[in-house]
Structures are given as structure tokens and as C-alpha cells.
Structure 1
Amino acid sequence: MDCFRALCCKGPPPPRPEYDVVCIGLTGAGKTSLLSRLCSEGSEGIVPTTGFSIKAVPFPNAILNVKELGGADNIKKYWSRYYQGSQGVVFVLDSASSDEDLEAARNELHSALQHPQLCTLPFLILANHQDKPAATTQLVKKYFELEPLARGKRWILEGSDVDNMETVKDTFGQFISLLEDKDTEPARI
């Protein structure tokens, strides 16, 4: 009887907190593929995002409303118009790309880390395509000069690939913890 009461008489579960997150990175970094897999959508026919798309990504303890911004050169200049209201940033980079593309990604990440609307927010930096031989998170960490630039900020750098979604989900769980910590900070006036 106690089991029945526990199952039927408690009412609906409490609502999960929702966080508005912006997802940026260069074209081909894998933003759309990762988000589609996190939403349990098929990976067939995925094309680079032009403009932006919004996905509600469910996790056991929260829902992330992710605004994914396209990474093409003609779109990047408008990224800052979509930053307002964000509570966190997901930056996806192709960790196995050319030196030129890594340099471009590095510049974009540095701009985002220093942007007035983003500089106080938690960052999740996904070094994507870890399934490729040239990919390594330690080189990304050093090359992107994250330690000095992100000192005092709340950030996570993790490797990712669409074939290891359990690790990606765990990483997002850590990111959600950073977002939750923000809620407990005293309000600044």
C-alpha cells in the first residue's frame, strides 16, 4: 500500500528548472549533430545551421533551451544580437580541424569570453570530433590559452564526439551544475 501511495498520491513531479543557453562555434564544428543526438533525433540529413535554431534539450535535472547560432562568416557578425538573456554558453570546436580553423575558433572563443553579456556566464567548451586521430583536449587547452584567459570564470573543457553520447551527457550534467550555482549567487544591485 505504501508503494501505491508513493506512486499515485504525490501529485506531479516538481518542474525541472530551465536555463537559456547560447551555442556557438564555427561551421562544421558539430553543434547541430550534438544537439540533435542529445534530443534523441536522428542524425540523417543534418545540414549546417543558417541563422539560428532553438531546441529544448531535456536532462533529468533541468531543461536547456539552447539557441544554436550558425557559424558561417556572414552569420558570426550577428552572434552578439542573440546573447541577451543567456544564462550560459556552449562553445563547440572541431578539435581535429586545420590550424587555420583552430585559430579562427580560438579568436571567436576569446571574443565570447570577453563579451560584456557573456563574460560572467558559465562556459562549456566542447572539443568535438575526438574520434579523429588529430584531436586532443590538452592541446586545445594550451593552444586556446584557456587558463590565463578564463581565470576566475566558471568553465569546463571536455572532449566530445557523437558516437559517445554518454560522455557528452555527463559533461552537460557538470555544466548544469555550474548553471545551478549561478542561481544561488546573491543578487547584485
Structure 2
Amino acid sequence: MGLLSLLRKLRSTPDKEARILLLGLDNAGKTTILKQLASEDITTITPTAGFNIKSVAADGFKLNVWDIGGQWKIRPYWKNYFANTDILIYVIDCTDRKRLSETGSELFELLMDNRLKQVPLLVFANKQDLPDAMSSAEVAEKIELVRLQERTWQIQGCSAANNSGIKEGMDWICRNIKK
């Protein structure tokens, strides 16, 4: 069952709204994931110069997803979007081995902000469809996600290009919003 089929089965009036912040370095696949969630065409994706916002329905929730650009010049402004975040999604390009340390540092820096202290974290290990992609387990080990002992978190392998793994990540999000 595709994400579109799943969304069609949901009630038209959600019980609750949730604010989701979608972050990661440039070219990680954030906007492609957002467009997949909204069942939009992904053939033409351009770098996000500011932010994109989409609302999607999932499991009785209205999820307001904020996709913020990941270029290094934009990253200092990420903190302006932290307030009232219910779930943080962080997207990692699993083929970009050169910037794995940089993306891990960025992730842990933003997790130190008090406004995100209690916020559950979903890491999408993206581009799993490519032959040179690191596995989710390898990414988790290399950026030391096990250090997150005081936080609810999950790493989910996915391919934004072919929409695999995204539904599983969204299911995890909905379970954690209900808690």
C-alpha cells in the first residue's frame, strides 16, 4: 500500500495537529521526502533557499511539516524554527561519506537546544536505493546515535526517490505523537 492510499483512508478531520521540523544538510533529500509525504511530483526539486511547509494527514493527525534549507549559510537560522516542535526529523544522505562527520555535529548541536530537549527524533538514513549508500546501522554507529540515551529516537533507512521507508518513519512518528 502506497502512502497516497494510506492518506486516503484517514479521517478528513484530524484529532490533533503536530508540528514537525525537517532538517539536514543540503542535498540530503528533505524536500523530496516532503513532496513524497504530500503526494506531489518529485521530478523537479530545487535547493530550498528558505523553507517549505506542507500539511499532511496521518493516523488522525494533521502534521504540519516545516522543511528548512540545509545550506551552511541557512543553518544558523534553524534555531528560529525550534519553538513548539513536536517531532524532529533529521535527514542524512547515506552516500555523502565526506560530510558524515559534519552532519553528525550539526545534529548533536541542535539537539542541545533546550527547545528540542524532550522532542523525539527520527533520523531518515536516505538514499538507500544507491549502491554506495551506508546502511542505517553504519550511520547510527558513525555519528554515535547511541549517545542519545535520554531521548526517544529512531533511525529509518529510506529512499526519498522511490518512496521506500518513509511510511515506516511516519508510522513511528504517529506512535510517538500519541504517547
TM band (smaller chain): 0.7 to 0.9
**Match of residue 48 from structure 2:** 49
**Match of residue 20 from structure 2:** 21
Q: TM-score, normalised by structure 2?
A: 0.88
Over 3 Å counting, the alpha-carbon distance change for 1:33 and 1:163 in structure 2 is closer
The alignment status of 1:165 with 2:170, answered yes or no, reads: no
Percent identity at matched positions? 30
SS in 2 for 1:103: helix
CA RMSD of aligned residues (A): 1.6
Stretch of structure 1 that moved more, 154-163 or 66-75: 154-163
Please tell me whether Structure 1 or Structure 2 has the larger radius of gyration of its CA atoms.
Answer: 1
SS in 1 for 2:102: helix
- Gaps of at least 5 residues in structure 2 are 1-10
Stretch of structure 1 that moved more, 153-162 or 164-173: 164-173
Deviations 1:46-100 (A, max 9, x none): 111111111102223322101111001110011001111111100001011132x
Return the alpha-carbon distance in structure 2 between the equivalents of residues 33 and 116 of structure 1: 29
- Gaps of at least 5 residues in structure 1 are 1-11, 182-189
**Match of residue 34 from structure 2:** 35
The alignment status of 1:134 with 2:132, answered yes or no, reads: yes
Q: Compute the displacement of 1:27 (Å).
A: 0.5
**Match of residue 152 from structure 1:** 150
Q: TM-score, normalised by structure 1?
A: 0.83
Which 4+ stretches in 1 moved above 2 angstroms? 12-16, 162-167
Stretch of structure 1 that moved more, 54-63 or 124-133: 54-63
**Match of residue 113 from structure 2:** 115
Deviations 1:142-186 (A, max 9, x none): 0010112x10211110111024425311221111211221xxxxx
Over 3 Å counting, the alpha-carbon distance change for 1:163 and 1:79 in structure 2 is closer
AA of the residue aligned to 1:165: N
8 Å contact kept, 1:112–1:119: no
Return the alpha-carbon distance in structure 2 between the equivalents of residues 163 and 33 of structure 1: 7
Over 3 Å counting, the alpha-carbon distance change for 1:43 and 1:13 in structure 2 is closer
**Match of residue 67 from structure 1:** 66
8 Å contact kept, 1:156–1:175: no
Return the alpha-carbon distance in structure 1 between the equivalents of residues 14 and 22 of structure 2: 24
Return the alpha-carbon distance in structure 1 between the equivalents of residues 66 and 13 of structure 2: 25
Deviations 1:120-151 (A, max 9, x none): 10011001000112221111010010112x10
Return the alpha-carbon distance in structure 2 between the equivalents of residues 111 and 86 of structure 1: 16
SS in 1 for 2:73: helix
**Match of residue 88 from structure 1:** 87
